[in-house]
Amino acid sequence: MKSIKVGLLGLGTVGTGVVRIVENHQEDLFGQVGSPIVIEKIVVQDRSKARNIAVDGDRMTEDVWEVINHPDIDVIVEVMGGVETTKTYILAALEQGKHIVTANKDLMALHGTEILEKAKEKGCDVLYEASVAGGIPIIRTLSEGFSSDRITKIMGIVNGTTNYILTKMSQEGAAYEDVLKEAQALGYAEADPTSDVEGLDAARKMTILATLGFHANVSLDDLAVKGISQVTKEEILYGKRLGYEVKLLGIAERQDDLISVSVQPTMVKKSHPLASVNGVFNAVYVYGEAVGETMFYGPGAGELPTATSVVADLVAVVKNMKLGVNGQRAQAPYKEKKLKTDEQIASKYFVLLHVADKAGVLAQITQVFAEYEVSLESVLQQPNPSNPSAEIIIVTHDASKANMNNVLKHFEGLEVIHQIKSVYRVEG
């Protein structure tokens, strides 16, 4: 029986997990696809490096082209990361008719359309389940499970590092900087955490989810992105008092054909299923017109969870090979992308102000909201023990982003407002 031969690009965390699963689950994988699956060649940067896994030296190569040009290799599994160079490799492999499984969110968010078009042209599969939310099969869920529905909202906790930090800040009342250091020591955050904490990683994943969920070609530039580096423990505490948890949410919304996608720290009502997703776990909440509320929860990263998704894609590629239908299941976006303007983006807001502690201030502030047609759900005023300002926390009803920006701009010119301390989107 002919075995299916795989070329693995990269033997880092996820690559190691892929080797482990393919080798340890041989019997089960055979049960699934009816052929042995063999990792024929592995591209590494340094063959002499010590590894967490025993791999025969002959199987490793430092020459990526040896694998891409290998005549016996059917499928390339790309878990090396990187964007421009990696794209060159992937396109070259597709050119040679090899199928691709990738865990590379950066590549798919930035060049997914081009890669998928090339794949279609060459009759090849490009599967990328592992690129979003690690072990959660959310890409299959959006593209197959909900193929019958019109999805109107996707909200994701899709970055484990920031969710770990926010969870710790919430549970322990700790400061951002302290928890970040701890997360770095535990390996949950990178030495340079920028991509995670500033929301870029989440933005790339949301680009992929929005494209799939809304059938329109969403690109990274379409997203408004804000990270968690300015979130304070006080804000989290105030949120909790009002019944909210702060989460870094990716939010993709559609109304008729108008869409908006953003990433920002968000006050999530405690009764919402996303509010209790803690630690490094990920979750994606999907609202469909017909299905209603659903949520998919699991590990967002890690060697074996991410490799589970990679190998599930590998199984799908092999099944397609056996049926001769590779490259024919991918769904190109068939809708024109129309973005909402700031006038059309609506949400509730949580606003924390430091104001002069004197009569008439609250009336003046609420008057500004009224002027820009932002109605208020709740208002909490309290003395601020640490300085002579009073604190006012306001939660609005649904307001347009444009109106809210006008309110904030107006506030900047008001003498009684000492500081606009925080502005959060509110969900749930």
Residues near 368 by beta carbon (within 8 Å), at least 6 away in sequence: 407, 410, 411, 414
Record the tokens describing residue 142, joined without a space. 């959006």
Contact 349, 424 (CB under 8 A): yes
To a second copy, the closest distance from the beta carbon of 134 in angstroms equals: 8
* For a second copy, the closer CB: 228 or 315: 315
To a second copy, the closest distance from the beta carbon of 136 in angstroms equals: 6
Residues near 352 by beta carbon (within 8 Å), at least 6 away in sequence: 235, 238, 391, 392, 393, 420, 421, 422, 423
Record the tokens describing residue 328, joined without a space. 């024919």
**Distances 254 to 151, 232, 339 between C-alpha atoms, Å:** 8, 31, 9
Tell me which of 205, 247, 348, 421 is the catalytic residue: 205
To a second copy, the closest distance from the beta carbon of 29 in angstroms equals: 7
Contact 39, 22 (CB under 8 A): yes
* For a second copy, the closer CB: 224 or 291: 291
End-to-end CA distance of the chain: 54
Record the tokens describing residue 424, joined without a space. 């959060």
To a second copy, the closest distance from the beta carbon of 135 in angstroms equals: 4
Residues near 367 by beta carbon (within 8 Å), at least 6 away in sequence: none
- C-alpha to C-alpha distance for 62 and 45, rounded to whole angstroms: 5
Give the number of other CB atoms < 10 A from CB of residue 97: 12
* For a second copy, the closer CB: 230 or 276: 276
* For a second copy, the closer CB: 185 or 290: 290
To a second copy, the closest distance from the beta carbon of 265 in angstroms equals: 23
To a second copy, the closest distance from the beta carbon of 166 in angstroms equals: 18
Residue numbers of the site for a second copy (CB under 8 A)? 17, 20-21, 25, 28-29, 31-32, 129, 135-137, 140-141, 144-150, 215, 273, 276, 281, 288-299, 302, 304-305, 307-312, 314-316, 319, 323, 325, 328-329, 331, 334-335
- 205 has catalytic annotation: yes
257 backbone dihedrals φ, ψ, rounded to 5°: -105, 10
* For a second copy, the closer CB: 134 or 250: 134
* For a second copy, the closer CB: 151 or 202: 151
Eight-state DSSP code of residue 2: P
In 3D space, the residue among 141, 113, 145 whose CA is nearest the CA of residue 126 turns out to be 113
Active site residues: 205
